[in-house]
Amino acid sequence: MNGNIRGWTSDRYMPRLLEYPLPRLPFDFYELAGSLAPRHFFVNAPKGDTNFKWRSVDAICAEARKVYELQGASDRLQVEHPDCGHLFPQEIQQKAFEVIEPALK
């Protein structure tokens, strides 16, 4: 939310982030995403989402993709931008399942 990380500090996400002042976070999100390489990584980043800015998601994924490319797995990082708010539309869910299912077999 425009640099406010409080939403990421709930028990469901990363509560220990509150232990760090914003400029001293021990990582950036592109590092987390890049650490998943070469595993499949699917991102739903709606264009109308007011919680998570899709352009920020693209910037993070562009940096993470460099790690995926080094591992010969750039096709395994996929980002979708449905034209909606903070939702996970059925057609995007289906795309996610198409990525996840073969990876789990």
Question: pLDDT tens, 13-24?
Answer: 888 888 887 778
Q: Residue 66 has which token pair?
A: 């460099």
Q: Residue 5: CA atoms inside 13 Å, Cβ hemisphere, count?
A: 17
Domain ranges for the chain = 27-104
Q: Is 41 exposed, middle or buried (0-12, 13-18, 19+ CB in 10 A)?
A: buried
39-81 pLDDT, tens digit per residue, is 999 999 999 998 888 999 999 999 999 999 999 999 999 999 9
SS3 43: strand
Q: How far apart are CA 37 and CA 16, in angstroms?
A: 24
